[in-house]
Amino acid sequence: MEMFAVVCSSSINFEPKIPNIQRNLDFWKDQENPANILILDIDSISRLHAHLSLPTTLSLLKAMNYLEFKGYHSTGAFTLKNCLPVLLREALAQQTEHQSQHEQHDCPLIRKFFHDQNFVTTFLEDGEGSCNWGGQGGFTAPPTDYYFQPMVKALRAMRLASFSPRTTWWTRELYTNCMSSESVPEFLLRYTRQFTEKFFNAPFFSFTWLAYPFHENVFTLASIDDPLKEFFQYLQENTYLLDNTVIIFISDHGDRTSFFQSASIEGFIERSLPPLFVRIPPKFRQALPMIHINAMKNTKQLVTPYDFHHTLLHALNVFTSPEESVFDSFSPSLSDRSSIFEEISRDRDCESVNIPLNNCVILTVYTNEIIMY
């Protein structure tokens, strides 16, 4: 059984996989919780675009001491080339090979490590072409305890089928990106918020990926500034969450299709430099001061999605079991990737950290061959 419905008066609530989740809650009942992990990813924005279109959100993040990683660099112009290193630590070629050998739900996605350590997990994403495994076709089985994408996908399909040939494009845009009275991004932010409220004492691993309409239209990002600020403000005001949650705000790559077309030098720079903001709660900064000191130093270093994946593993290790490693042979720093909680070498270049040279903005000679996709 995947879900069951609880009907109370005129309200219906759907609860998934209660036995698994209850087992996790029971596990942590008499123990101190490790840090929750909360990741919010918006597709197709560069760091510069975030600063220009999300000014109120970013000023709040600055006031809340989020670390901004100015050297965060994408590993490709497309979503999968960036999200698979985060989810699976593998590049596209490797994961294609992996996919041919394994069922999707058997893959060692990052959430699995948290699930195995009794975290309650969720992976929220909208439309059909976001960061989901299997050529972006979606998972064949729910990858996390809570997985909402089939509902959004079905709603979009239903709405698209209801349009007549005479329906204007702006009506299609408006209704395919809406859940009843709010937009899909606003709905998913609210869903994420409710998930954190529900499992504040779990701990939890929450990954929310918003792709639409930002992926299709670079000009729409400013419309999410206020809802996004309210989302982070909610976390700020609820100290029981803030004090125990590592919060990450990130994108995969910058725009390449609308204003910043791929054939422009602006597009080349834009798509290579997405934002990465991280907040480590004060109690973990005090308990593990080097983690924050190293992270601060790394805000000026070259950092990649592989480092992000490695950081999540490191976070699971140090925040869950500081005395004893969760993984037998985990090393926070490897030759081509490192946790951002370790001091990252200044000698890195694109080649040494798996950034394709046609996507590299470091010491790059600008040619059409490099920028054309």
| Cis, bond preceding 213 (omega within 30 deg of 0) | yes
Among 334, 310, 338, residue whose Cα is nearest residue 88: 310
User: Site residues (CB under 5 A) for Zn ion?
Assistant: 43-44, 79, 252
In the complex, the smallest distance separating the C-beta of residue 206 from Zn ion, rounded to whole angstroms, is 19
Q: Which is nearer to Zn ion, 80 or 155 (CB)?
A: 80
Q: Which is nearer to Zn ion, 24 or 130 (CB)?
A: 130
Q: Which is nearer to Zn ion, 74 or 183 (CB)?
A: 74
Q: Which is nearer to Zn ion, 41 or 145 (CB)?
A: 41
In the complex, the smallest distance separating the C-beta of residue 124 from Zn ion, rounded to whole angstroms, is 16
Q: Which is nearer to Zn ion, 44 or 359 (CB)?
A: 44
Beta strands in the chain (DSSP E): 3-8, 11-16, 36-42, 67-68, 120-125, 146-147, 178-179, 182-183, 204-210, 245-250, 276-279
In the complex, the smallest distance separating the C-beta of residue 213 from Zn ion, rounded to whole angstroms, is 13
In the complex, the smallest distance separating the C-beta of residue 313 from Zn ion, rounded to whole angstroms, is 23
Provide the β-strand partners of residue 146.
Answer: 122
In the complex, the smallest distance separating the C-beta of residue 92 from Zn ion, rounded to whole angstroms, is 13
Among 245, 255, 297, residue whose Cα is nearest residue 275: 255
What CA–CA distance (Å, rounded) separates 297 from 343? 7
In the complex, the smallest distance separating the C-beta of residue 164 from Zn ion, rounded to whole angstroms, is 31
CA–CA distances in Å: residue 202 to residues 36, 187, 197, 199: 8, 23, 10, 5
Q: Which is nearer to Zn ion, 251 or 317 (CB)?
A: 251
**H, E, C per residue of 296-321:** HHHCCCCECHHHHHHHHHHHHHHHHC
In this structure, the chain runs to a length of 373
